[in-house]
Amino acid sequence: MSLKAVDGILSSLKSCQTDLGTGMDIVTDVAMDLVEAEDEEMNPGIKEMEAMILQCAKLDREINYFVDIVQQATAEVTPQQPEAMFSLSAKVKERFAERIAQLSNADLNNHQKVAAFKENIKNALQQADQDPAEGIEELDEDIAVTQSQVNFTCPLTQVEMLNPMKNKKCNHHYDEEAILSLIKTKYSQKKKCRCPVVGCGNGDVKESDLIPDHMLRRKIQNQKRKSNQT
């Protein structure tokens, strides 16, 4: 197999990984729908979905390991030593087995999508336990709208977020594309990424600190629907 063919396979795996992430987001949304439906019979279904998310996280980690190992192994093959390609498969299998053996439950539970699932389900359960009318009628409508606009606005783009990401360290939110772009830019400059929220003391925002906030995204979508109806 040529190095070009290997690159094609890795590209396909990365595409599968993107689809896998989308599927995990869908599972989280469905689980939140079940919580909001307040159907006690659906609780086992939520547990099954959590198990599904963990299995997907395991597959995602395995793809990461495999791609990383193959890229390292192929980088060791030089034009002057084309015969090294023949031992590439055995080398990749050995290294892959070593990495998989180190994969722990703690690592899976720290996976961004798993953390997002648990966080969003917890928030949905808390919201379902609250009285929907509690305190809402006491709010002035203009104040409520202003507060929602502030909460829905990305501190980087200053526009409404499409895919809000929550920072686990400082609890601030940013639009996914904007914050990942900023982190990448700072990384290329060998600098730390500060939280863009004014007054926040978090001076080192990392991608691993971010989790998708499905609850906030649903609130934004609901607000849009209400705005379109008026």
Is residue 142 situated within a structural domain?
no
User: Taking a C-beta distance cutoff of 8 angstroms, is the pair 121, 31 a contact?
Assistant: yes
> Can you give the pLDDT at residue 59?
96
> Can you give the pLDDT at residue 126?
81
> Can you give the pLDDT at residue 61?
95
> Can you give the pLDDT at residue 130?
65
> Can you give the pLDDT at residue 113?
93
> Can you give the pLDDT at residue 84?
62
User: Taking a C-beta distance cutoff of 8 angstroms, is the pair 56, 26 a contact?
Assistant: no
230 residues of the chain, pLDDT tens digit each? 567 788 888 999 999 999 999 999 999 999 988 887 766 555 778 889 999 999 999 999 999 999 999 988 888 776 556 566 667 888 889 999 999 999 999 999 999 999 999 999 988 888 776 655 544 444 444 434 444 445 799 999 999 999 999 999 999 999 999 999 999 999 999 999 999 999 999 999 999 999 999 999 988 988 888 877 76
DSSP 94-163: HHHHHHHHT--HHHHHTSHHHHHHHHHHHHHHHHHHS-TTTTTTTS-HHHHHHHHHHHHB-TTTSSB-SS
Which range of residues forms the domain containing residue 207? 164-229
User: Taking a C-beta distance cutoff of 8 angstroms, is the pair 107, 198 a contact?
Assistant: no
Domain boundary residue, one of 129, 154, 187: 129
Is residue 156 situated within a structural domain?
no
Residues 122 and 200 in one domain: no
Structural domains counted in the chain? 2
What is the bridge-based pairing of β-strands 173-175 and 210-212?
unpaired
Residues 112 and 223 in one domain: no
Distances (CA, A) of 166 to 20, 137, 224: 21, 28, 20
φ and ψ of 107, to 5 deg = -65, -40
Residues 93 and 182 in one domain: no
- Region of residue 151 (left: phi > 0; alpha: psi -120 to 50; beta: else): alpha
Tokens 């990424």 sit on residue: 193
Which strand (E) or helix (H) includes residue 211? strand 210-212
User: Taking a C-beta distance cutoff of 8 angstroms, is the pair 220, 160 a contact?
Assistant: yes
Round to whole Å and give the CA distance between 36 and 32: 6
> Can you give the pLDDT at residue 36?
79
What pTM did the predictor assign? Answer: 0.73
> Can you give the pLDDT at residue 139?
42
φ and ψ of 138, to 5 deg = -80, -15
Residues 119 and 75 in one domain: yes
